[in-house]
């Protein structure tokens, strides 16, 4: 058994090297001055080595992956660079609304568009639009906006128009959007605020309707992730289907899970975190169906390489993408090790939630403090008090919305359980956010952020080595939960 496990893990090393090479190549591809042939020079002697030995395949896969990443990243960087000719100029831009419109701090209607066209030239990425006029704009509408294009920070958007003149060229009247609108209307008419907006945030990540004060309170207590389109929402849905159908049919489990993943993407959009969650959940389900298991490091690299290859903007500096992967790494790689070494004390569900929360925060805290310069001190307690009730809340809000599509009156009668659960969450958030010490200012420089992650990586590697030695001596294995 020991030899079989060793062979299986060794065979994964070239794949891991290739995926790591793709990620590195994509990141380097942003700098268009780096020649693509650079990674072919060390590849030349590698191909002359003995491929029967796994160790020789690792550099081959790594440099091939880097080559592919450089080609993709360089090509995408050249396309994005075309925005430079339009900055600080008044332009007419056409695109499709990619999210649910909300309101900015200065009361402008705010949304993002993708499928961008400027002067009939197609461009990648997305642009933020802010408009003052009362224009009915919905997700999926094709619009035209006129204004001055400004640069923005980060890679989440490629530009922004403020005080733009917007006109709708084509309404989105698809059946998906009609059902979605009726579902939202049913929830808003059956539940008070902020319970209704919070419930929709649980289900599909809608944050634009949240009252500003309550959205700030969520940030203070470190619970913004529960209303973001994250892997947690999708994980709950997939796990529910898996438990419901796995004893009936593995095929039906994968089929219904795949349909739910596709439906979730349609309802929420292709945000960085949900794209990562969909990719990883999909591969994990396939591995489960064929009786295989992915090594946690491989599944992390696989999700990063695929999502980064689809959209290199993610890997170039999208904050949401990095936070999603850091939290996922904490939950998937670090938390099981901590749980394993704690032994019997970690069998309690509340202890497990606390461990996963602390590990996710451990991995994200250096990056958050570097980018946002603040840290929530109350977050572990808030997560323990709120997270266990989220699956029940999602189910109850979903029932209210679905019944409300058919009969709004019936939805009012059955909404009481959802009101109770959601009101409890609101009370916890508001009470904890009112504490003066709930959040503190804390900033890390780039050097200390890298040093922090190096320390976490060394500690995790050491824990992994100790675990492997215990396993070789016949100790119990960790049951990695890849969903």
183 and 105 in a single domain? The answer is no
Percent of all residues in the chain with a pLDDT value above 70, rounded to a whole number: 78
Query: Is 327 part of a structural domain of the chain?
Result: yes
Question: Mind listing the pLDDT tens digit for each residue in 166-195?
Answer: 888 888 877 777 888 888 888 888 988 888
Rg (CA), the chain: 24
The domain boundary residue, chosen from 82, 117, 133: 82
Whether the predicted pLDDT of 474 surpasses 50:
yes
41 and 103 in a single domain? The answer is no
The domain boundary residue, chosen from 172, 188, 223: 172
* Tokens read off for 233: 């929402």
33 and 101 in a single domain? The answer is no
423 and 318 in a single domain? The answer is yes
DSSP assignment of 415-427: -HHHHHHHHHHHH
Query: Is 298 part of a structural domain of the chain?
Result: yes
91 and 78 in a single domain? The answer is no
For residues 292 and 294, give the distance between their C-alpha atoms in angstroms, rounded to a whole number. 7
Residue 267, pLDDT score: 64
pLDDT, average across residues 274-303: 74
105 and 12 in a single domain? The answer is no
* Most confident stretch, 10-24, 71-85, 105-119, 278-292: 71-85
128 and 49 in a single domain? The answer is no
Residue 87, pLDDT score: 92
Domain that holds residue 168: 86-172
145 and 261 in a single domain? The answer is no
Residue owning tokens 């002067």: 119
Whether the predicted pLDDT of 1 surpasses 50:
no
CATH number of residue 121's parent domain: 2.40.50.140
Q: What is the mean pLDDT of the chain?
A: 79
Question: Mind listing the pLDDT tens digit for each residue in 121-150?
Answer: 889 888 999 887 756 788 888 999 999 999
Query: Is 78 part of a structural domain of the chain?
Result: yes
Secondary structure in 3-state letters for 236-261: HHHHHHHHHHCCCCHHHHHHHHHHHH
pLDDT, average across residues 204-233: 72
Whether the predicted pLDDT of 49 surpasses 60:
no
Q: In terms of pLDDT, which residue wins out, 66 or 372?
A: 66
Q: How confident is the model at residue 3 (pLDDT cuts 50, 70, 90)?
A: very low
pLDDT, average across residues 255-261: 77
Q: How confident is the model at residue 405 (pLDDT cuts 50, 70, 90)?
A: confident
Question: Mind listing the pLDDT tens digit for each residue in 305-363?
Answer: 988 898 898 888 887 778 778 887 887 788 888 888 887 766 676 677 778 778 888 88
Q: In terms of pLDDT, which residue wins out, 34 or 332?
A: 332
211 and 342 in a single domain? The answer is yes
As for how many domains the chain has, the answer is 3
For residues 302 and 321, give the distance between their C-alpha atoms in angstroms, rounded to a whole number. 14
379 and 347 in a single domain? The answer is yes
Question: Mind listing the pLDDT tens digit for each residue in 298-321?
Answer: 888 888 898 889 889 888 888 777
Q: Which secondary structure element, helix H or strand E, spans residue 93, and what is its range?
A: strand 90-97
Residue owning tokens 């958007």: 157
Residue 207, pLDDT score: 66
Whether the predicted pLDDT of 446 surpasses 80:
yes
């Amino acid at each position: 058994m020991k030899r079989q496990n060793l062979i299986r893990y060794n065979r994964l090393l070239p794949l891991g090297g290739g995926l790591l090479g793709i990620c590195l190549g994509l990141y380097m591809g942003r700098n268009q001055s780096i020649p693509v042939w650079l990674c072919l020079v060390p590849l030349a002697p590698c191909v002359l080595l003995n491929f029967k030995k796994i160790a020789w395949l690792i550099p081959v896969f790594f440099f091939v992956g880097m080559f592919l990443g450089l080609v993709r990243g360089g090509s995408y960087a050249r396309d994005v660079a075309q925005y430079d000719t339009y900055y600080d100029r008044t332009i007419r831009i056409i695109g499709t609304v990619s999210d649910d419109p909300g309101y900015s701090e200065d009361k402008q209607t705010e949304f993002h568009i993708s499928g961008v066209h400027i002067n009939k030239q197609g461009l990648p990425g997305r642009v933020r639009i802010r408009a003052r006029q009362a224009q009915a704009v919905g997700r999926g509408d094709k619009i035209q906006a006129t204004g001055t294009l400004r640069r923005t920070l980060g890679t989440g958007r490629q530009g922004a128009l403020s005080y733009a003149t917007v006109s709708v060229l084509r309404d989105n009247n698809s059946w998906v959007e009609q059902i979605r609108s009726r579902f939202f209307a049913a929830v808003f008419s059956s539940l008070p605020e902020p319970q209704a907006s919070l419930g929709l945030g649980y289900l599909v990540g809608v944050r634009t309707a949240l009252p500003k004060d309550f959205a700030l309170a969520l940030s203070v207590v470190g619970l913004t992730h529960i209303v973001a389109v994250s892997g947690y929402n999708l994980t709950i849905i997939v796990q529910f289907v898996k438990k419901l159908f796995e004893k009936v049919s593995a095929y039906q489990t994968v089929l219904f899970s795949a349909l739910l993943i596709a439906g979730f993407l349609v309802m929420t959009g292709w945000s960085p975190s949900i794209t990562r969650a969909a990719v990883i959940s999909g591969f994990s389900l396939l591995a489960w169906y064929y009786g295989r298991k992915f090594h946690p490091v491989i599944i992390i690299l696989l999700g990063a390489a695929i999502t980064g290859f689809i959209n290199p903007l993610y890997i170039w500096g999208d904050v949401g993408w990095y936070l999603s992967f850091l939290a996922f790494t904490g939950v998937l790689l670090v938390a099981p090790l901590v749980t394993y070494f704690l032994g019997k004390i970690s069998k309690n569900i509340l202890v497990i939630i606390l461990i996963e929360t602390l590990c996710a925060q451990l991995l994200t805290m250096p990056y958050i403090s570097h980018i946002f310069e603040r840290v929530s001190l109350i977050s572990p307690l808030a997560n323990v008090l709120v997270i266990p009730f989220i699956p029940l809340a999602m189910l109850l809000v979903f029932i209210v919305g679905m019944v409300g599509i058919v009969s709004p009156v019936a939805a009012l009668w059955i909404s009481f359980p959802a009101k109770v659960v959601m009101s409890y969450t609101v009370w916890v958030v508001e009470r904890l956010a009112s504490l003066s010490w709930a959040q503190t200012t804390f900033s890390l420089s780039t050097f200390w952020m890298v040093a922090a992650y190096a320390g976490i990586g060394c500690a995790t590697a050491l824990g992994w080595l100790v675990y492997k030695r215990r396993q070789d001596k016949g100790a119990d294995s960790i049951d990695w939960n890849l969903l």
